[in-house]
Amino acid sequence: MNRREALARLFAITGTLAVGGELFLSGCRAPEAEKRTVAFSAADIALLDEIAETIIPATDTPGAKAAKVGPFMAMTAHDCYDDASYASLRGGLTKIDAASRKHHGKTFMDSTPPERTALLNELDAEQRTSTLNRTAGEPPHYFRLMKELTLIGYFSSEIGCTKALRYVESPGSYDGNVPYSKGDRAWYNPSRRIG
Amino acid sequence: MPSQQYDAIVVGSGITGGLAAKELCERGLKVLMLERGRNVEHVKDYVNATKAPWELAHRGMTARKYAIEYPQLRKARLLWEPVAEFFADEQDCPYVETKPFDWVRGYQVGGRSLTWGRLCLRWSDVDFEANAIEGVGTDWPIRYKDLAPWYDQVERFAGVSGTNEGIPHLPDGQFLPPMHLNVVEQSVAARIKEHWKGQRHLIIGRTANLTQQHDGRGACQYRDKCVMGCPFGAYFSTQSATLPAAMKTGNLTLRPFSIARRVLYDRNTRRATGVEIVDAETNKTYEFTAQVVFVCASTFNSTWLLMNSATDVWPGGLGSSSGELGHNAMDHHGRVGASGLVDGFDDKYVYGRRPTGFYVPRFANLGDDRRGYVRGFAYQGSANRQEWNRDIAELGIGAPMKEALREPGPWNIGFTGFGETLPYHDNRTYLDTQTKDKWGLPVLAFACEIRDNEKSMRKDMMADAAEMLTAAGVKNVKENDDGYTFGRTVHEMGTARMGTDPKSSVLNGNNQVWDAMNVFVTDGACMASSGCVNPSLTYMALTARAVDFAVNELKRKNL
């Protein structure tokens, strides 16, 4: 099964482009040597924080920046990604600024929140098309990786688990027929296997 | 060379080794239990079990370091950082794939009893008689009635929750109160029952998770983090159940870091005299003697130990006289099924994290349901509302997406199949003397593959799952075949099969090695067919039965 078939299969299973699918499928690729030559700088992490905050902004609950998603993205990309995904994500930091300059004539950091949102919505559409048409061996689109890491980092954080979602360490019982009203928060499931 | 005398030696400390040790100790024997890996202390060594999600090093992602250390586990898609250290060190313990093979091993006290799936299902005579009826492989030397009382005993001890359903080919048992199907699963179960006029069933998993306190062990708290180890001892493992029971007798000596290298054999008495081990930490060799040896090292490692116990009397290994040692390897072929979305329950949700799913017992090739292949398959699955990781294309990024993902998504339900694999003589494992492990011991090579019968069955496993979901009103039903590599289901069986004839089997009907009657093999190696039913409970029943036989024979001085 090549990568594209594998992706198509995953969509068939879940009916969606599930987050974490990319990481799951990276199991098809061989890992590389241990060392990472290029690390994330403080400026990189600040940029990742702002990207994450644009993807998951503060509303009546804290956003991605409060949940320290930027440092999480840098840490997990460094520790968990294969070289191709790592290079894609890192390259994305430059590409985002280039795209921002093209659209708004300034860097991402210098852009207003509405400008940032507009740009990232475009990049989200771009990554969606790119993911669906990707061929075997091609690294994932950088913005797909950024979005995935943002969602994982946010919802698995203490803020994500306890403020955005609900989490009970030891439920103590199971009830498979609980009334649900629109607006009730989803549970965080700690057994989710990602990557 | 130090030597020590015991009444019995048990090689391996997993589901069967732990049970053998417990049963032998409770019958008054002085027992040495050998475990090749490290000790894992109950609760204390469950290092991730009580961490909050945000306290896990990579929050459920897996570092590259583990991908490099555990390439096989990764290939089998079972690598997960929070539990990686409950699996064998693949650098120290390589194996050879003559054909693609996933061998998932747990080298520590407790073995894979720490990480198993916990379904406890009885086999029936549909399984035990199939080889004889079809002329496939060799006949089982036992029938359901021989195991029934032992199923009773091990279920009562282990604590199995479930429902009695009166399904002839999935016999009822001694169950604790069941866990429950959720509202969507109940709906799907009812519609399947109606559509197939009671001939197909969807039932709650019969699982070794306690629904109430049991023998001093705590009840399940519905955390669904079993594989990280349970601080309440609420699922059956060596640590939670058999090891404390064995220790309580004062008759058990547990020796971690002890790699059983060979079973010592006396050509004059044609009996084993004990076991030689390599201390995994010091590389020193020790000999321990005993009247009886239980080999419970996990399916292929038990066979490895017999093979590596070759003498000039038995150059192919102890138990090799039939020529079947290492042959007839089996697994359940799986990772094929279907899934879809369920409408009409948007006002329903769940509380708690149930650590089991549902089970759809076999229906193919039973009664009037005849197929173009032999044997059958079962399904496991569950229904849940989708979580934050679902992707909603039209929402893009930002506050609308965030708010949408804070709510549960649509209900999703999936079936995944477990199919019977026939015992093919050519599916085998053998010693590769060119490849050595860290201790200079030869490793196993595997040459196994599924064949036409299994490949035909897989088409039905996918199509029937889709058909049942569709009949139950499930929408957007998608079939899936995620690909199967031999061993991947981690239900490996065979390679030292039981039988009625020493010319065609390695073990007799009491799990004794024909060629050395005081050596018993009671783990998955002994299986003469694979059924499609999860096998661990059957290994346990066989173990308890074999221990009873062995102890009685020792008393009669027949061993």
On whether any CB of chain B is under 8 Å from the CB of A128, the answer is: yes
Q: What count of other Cβ atoms lies within 10 Å of the Cβ of residue A131?
A: 20
- For residue B492, the model assigns a pLDDT of 98
- For residue B461, the model assigns a pLDDT of 98
Selecting from A15, A124, A176 the residue whose C-beta is nearest the C-beta of B183 gives A176
Separation of alpha carbons B144 and B122, rounded Å = 9
pLDDT in tens for each of the 559 residues of chain B?
445 999 999 999 999 999 999 999 999 999 999 999 999 999 999 999 999 999 999 998 999 999 999 999 999 999 999 999 999 999 999 999 999 999 999 999 999 999 999 999 999 999 999 999 999 999 999 999 999 999 999 999 999 999 999 999 999 999 999 999 999 999 999 999 999 999 999 999 999 999 999 999 999 999 999 999 999 999 999 999 999 999 999 999 999 999 999 999 999 999 999 999 999 999 999 999 999 999 999 999 999 999 999 999 999 999 999 999 999 999 999 999 999 999 999 999 999 999 999 999 999 999 999 999 999 999 999 999 999 999 777 789 999 999 999 999 999 999 999 999 999 999 999 999 999 999 999 999 999 999 999 999 999 999 999 999 999 999 999 999 999 999 999 999 999 999 999 999 999 999 999 999 999 999 999 999 999 999 999 999 999 999 999 999 999 999 8
Residue B365 DSSP class: T
Strands B252-255 and B31-34: what pairing?
A: parallel
- Closest Cα partner for B153 from B550, B551, B541? B541
- For residue B395, the model assigns a pLDDT of 84
What is the band of A194 on the pLDDT scale with cuts at 50, 70, 90?
low
Selecting from A121, A156, A178 the residue whose C-beta is nearest the C-beta of B54 gives A156
Selecting from B61, B180, B402 the residue whose C-beta is nearest the C-beta of A56 gives B402
CB contact under 8 A, A31 and B63: no
Is residue A25's pLDDT more than 50?
Answer: no
Selecting from A12, A81, A173 the residue whose C-beta is nearest the C-beta of B480 gives A12
Q: Does this complex have an ipTM over 0.95? A: no
Q: How much is the mean pLDDT over chain A?
A: 85
Range picked from A4-18, A132-146, B329-343 for highest mean pLDDT: B329-343
Is residue A114's pLDDT more than 80?
Answer: yes
Is residue A136's pLDDT more than 90?
Answer: no
For residue A171, give how far its alpha carbon lies from the nearest alpha carbon of chain B (Å). Answer: 5
CB contact under 8 A, B397 and A9: no
CA angle B505/B549/B501 to nearest 5° reads: 20
Q: Scanning every residue of chain B, which has its alpha carbon at the shortest distance from the alpha carbon of A58?
A: B399
For residue B335, give how far its alpha carbon lies from the nearest alpha carbon of chain A (Å). Answer: 11
Classify residue B215 as exposed, middle or buried by CB count within 10 Å of its CB (0-12, 13-18, 19+): middle
For residue A4, give how far its alpha carbon lies from the nearest alpha carbon of chain B (Å). Answer: 13
Q: Which residues of B touch A184 (CB under 8 A)?
A: 349, 407-408
B512-513, strands of its sheet edge to edge: B252-255, B31-34, B8-11, B292-295, B516-521, B512-513
Q: Scanning every residue of chain A, which has its alpha carbon at the shortest distance from the alpha carbon of B413?
A: A14
- Closest Cα partner for B355 from A171, A105, A50? A171
pTM of the model: 0.94
Helix A42-55 × helix A142-155 angle, to 10°: 80
What is the band of A6 on the pLDDT scale with cuts at 50, 70, 90?
very low
Q: What is the DSSP string of B425-491?
A: TT-EEEEEEEEE-TTS-EEEEEE----HHHHHHHHHHHHHHHHHHHHTT-EEEEEEE----BTTTS-
What is the band of A39 on the pLDDT scale with cuts at 50, 70, 90?
confident
What is the band of A35 on the pLDDT scale with cuts at 50, 70, 90?
low
- For residue A22, the model assigns a pLDDT of 43
CB contact under 8 A, A158 and B54: yes
Residue B323 DSSP class: S
- For residue B58, the model assigns a pLDDT of 94
Strands B442-447 and B96-97: what pairing?
A: parallel
Separation of alpha carbons B212 and B492, rounded Å = 31
Please give the average per-residue pLDDT across A167-175, as a whole number: 97
- For residue B517, the model assigns a pLDDT of 98
What is the band of A32 on the pLDDT scale with cuts at 50, 70, 90?
low
Q: Which residues of B touch A83 (CB under 8 A)?
A: none
- For residue A47, the model assigns a pLDDT of 98
CB contact under 8 A, A174 and B408: no
Selecting from A17, A80, A175 the residue whose C-beta is nearest the C-beta of B391 gives A17
- For residue A125, the model assigns a pLDDT of 94
Is residue A19's pLDDT more than 60?
Answer: no
Helix A42-55 × helix A83-104 angle, to 10°: 70
Q: How many whole angstroms from its chain centre is CA A26?
A: 15
What is the band of A5 on the pLDDT scale with cuts at 50, 70, 90?
very low
Computed on alpha carbons and rounded to an integer, the radius of gyration of chain A in Å comes to: 18
- For residue A50, the model assigns a pLDDT of 98
Which residues are within 8 A (CB) of A82 and not within 5 positions of it... i.e. 6 or more apart?
A26, A29, A31, A32, B64
Computed on alpha carbons and rounded to an integer, the radius of gyration of chain B in Å comes to: 23
Residues B288 and B274 sit within 8 Å (Cβ to Cβ): yes
